[in-house]
Amino acid sequence: MKFELTDDQGDFRSSLESLLSSADTVGAARAWASGDHAPGLALWKRLADQGLTMLATDATPVEVCIAFESLGRHAVPGPWVESAAYLPLALGREVEGVATVAVPPLVPYALDADVADHVFVVTGGSLARATPGEHKTSVDRTRHLFTVSAEDAVTAGDLDAAFDLAVLATSAQLLGAGERILADAVAYVKQRKQFGREIGSYQAIKHALADVRIALDFARPLVLGAALGEVGVSAAKVAAGDAAYLSSRTGLQVHGAIGYTAELDLSIWITKVRALVTAWGTPAHHRARILQELVG
């Protein structure tokens, strides 16, 4: 099956890519990781003005995927899945400001609760306001995780649909991050020379990068198919996670020793992929859902 964006969707993607390409998203991500939220919040406002926080309620899941793939490609920090995918459906309305949520046991911690204007938790199948507690460390330094304590309950919408949209948004983020790592790896192997030749001219390097290209190309139809309701979101999450993880491992390998350094921008995407692979449900959880869909 072939998926093509409409003209309006293509224009939306181009507009969003233009905005993010002109913004210092790497600088915002590094500042966010160190506890300086000002650049990230300024970017948040620009993206909210662009309509990203309204997509879950006012657009289709396809537009959500377009937006989150761009967020992943540019490593935009902040609880975007929570604010722009899960909570609008969980609350039945657009979220004002920055918001986050914990959905135990699959999402045990609230992302960036220290900077959020609103913090929620799902407890006993109901949505409640929450208070942040202990900080937990993530492999992705831009992801600040917090335990939460439930307070008063709030009126909730469709929590199952909200969870599925959050899974879909995370899948699109993984796809975008995987594409960015592959693009950076291809650019690097065309420049790096070893034994008098660009390392990208070696057959083994070409094959490794081609495998990543194929994996990402196979994951994309599943993500878009899930957005259209043709396949389950768990299939999209597994495929996008596997493809992005392969991209991160290959990108690390072709960069050699420098790929392990935090100073290299590539590390922002590599650690993000590692965190997102298990965010909003582990691969094992989603494979179990796929199995249930097939045999149930």
Give a yes or no: residue 78 inside a domain: no
Phi, psi of 150 (to 5 degrees): -70, 145
Q: Domain range for residue 213?
A: 160-295
Residue 234 identity: S
pLDDT digits (tens, 9 = 90+) for 264-296: 999 999 999 999 999 999 999 999 999 998 997
- Alpha carbons 268 and 276: distance in angstroms, whole number: 12
Give a yes or no: residue 280 inside a domain: yes
State the CATH number of the domain containing residue 260: 1.20.140.10
Give a yes or no: residue 16 inside a domain: no
Q: Which of 176, 185, 294, 183 is nearest to 231 (CA)?
A: 294
On the question of a cis peptide bond just before residue 105, with omega within 30 degrees of 0, the verdict is: yes
Give a yes or no: residue 134 inside a domain: no
Residue ranges of the chain with pLDDT lower than 70? 1-2
Output the pLDDT for position 194: 80
Structure tokens at 111: 């992302």
Give a yes or no: residue 208 inside a domain: yes
Burial label for 1, CB within 10 Å (0-12, 13-18, 19+), is exposed
Give a yes or no: residue 185 inside a domain: yes
- The answer to whether residues 215 and 251 touch, using CB atoms and an 8 Å cutoff, is no
Mean pLDDT of the chain: 95
Alpha-carbon distances of 187 from 82, 175, 182, 216, 221, rounded to whole Å: 33, 18, 9, 17, 25
- Please tell me the total count of domains within the chain: 1
Output the pLDDT for position 76: 98
- The answer to whether residues 169 and 68 touch, using CB atoms and an 8 Å cutoff, is yes
Give a yes or no: residue 80 inside a domain: no
Q: HSE-up of 48 (CA within 13 Å, CB side)?
A: 17
- Collapsed DSSP state (helix, strand, coil) of residue 282: coil
Give a yes or no: residue 262 inside a domain: yes
Q: How many of the other CB atoms lie within 10 Å of CB of 4?
A: 7
Segment holding 147, helix H or strand E: strand 145-153
